[in-house]
Amino acid sequence: MASRKKSKEPLTRANGTMTESAYLAWIRSCLRAKSLRWPPRNTALELARRPYSGPNKRQKWEFQCAICLEWFKKDDVVVDHYPEEAGSILSVEDIGPFAERLYCEVGNLRVLCEFDHRVHTLQSSHGYSREEAILEIKVNDTMKDKKTTLALLQENGYNNCTNDEKRKVALREIFQKEK
């Protein structure tokens, strides 16, 4: 099933309207949506919080990132599955184990700031070191703004970057030199 192109995948589910991958994605997203209300998730947030005493009168708590140890408001943190990731659903057989990993106890949950969550996600998906992951994020974020990217390349003497791949390579070199 996994090796077939998406367009050729037969519509085997939901009265012949859904492919197997769409079906699995549906189930995954249902499980994920409800996981925001999973009680141990709130416990993880409670364990990472302290009363906020800064200038914002409407903010009651702040939350500590388990990696950088800085404090953030609730909207700027995520609850991460660690050390065991929730993983993915690639077949019907994965649904049970996935649900059990997703709905885990508080010992397998930690609070991260958005930045460290991005870094950690890149590290586990690509096998990058923390430094490499931070560099990739910097490159990808810069690439989103084409004007800035082109100006930066020009400033640093890169005049032959004719496509995104070449521009990425050049940005990596520039940022690595900056360190």
Closest approach, Cβ 138 to Zn ion, in A, equals: 16
| Amino acid letter for position 175 | F
Which CB atom, from 44 or from 113, has the smaller least distance to Zn ion?
A: 113
Closest approach, Cβ 86 to Zn ion, in A, equals: 20
Closest approach, Cβ 9 to Zn ion, in A, equals: 39
- Alpha-carbon distance of 173 to 139, in angstroms, equals 10
* Beta carbons of 22 and 12 less than 8 angstroms apart: no
Single out the residue of 172, 178, 179, 176 nearest to residue 142, CA to CA: 172
Q: Give the position of tokens 């390349």.
A: 153
Which CB atom, from 78 or from 143, has the smaller least distance to Zn ion?
A: 78
Residues that bind Zn ion (CB under 5 A): 65, 67-68, 113, 116
Which CB atom, from 17 or from 59, has the smaller least distance to Zn ion?
A: 59
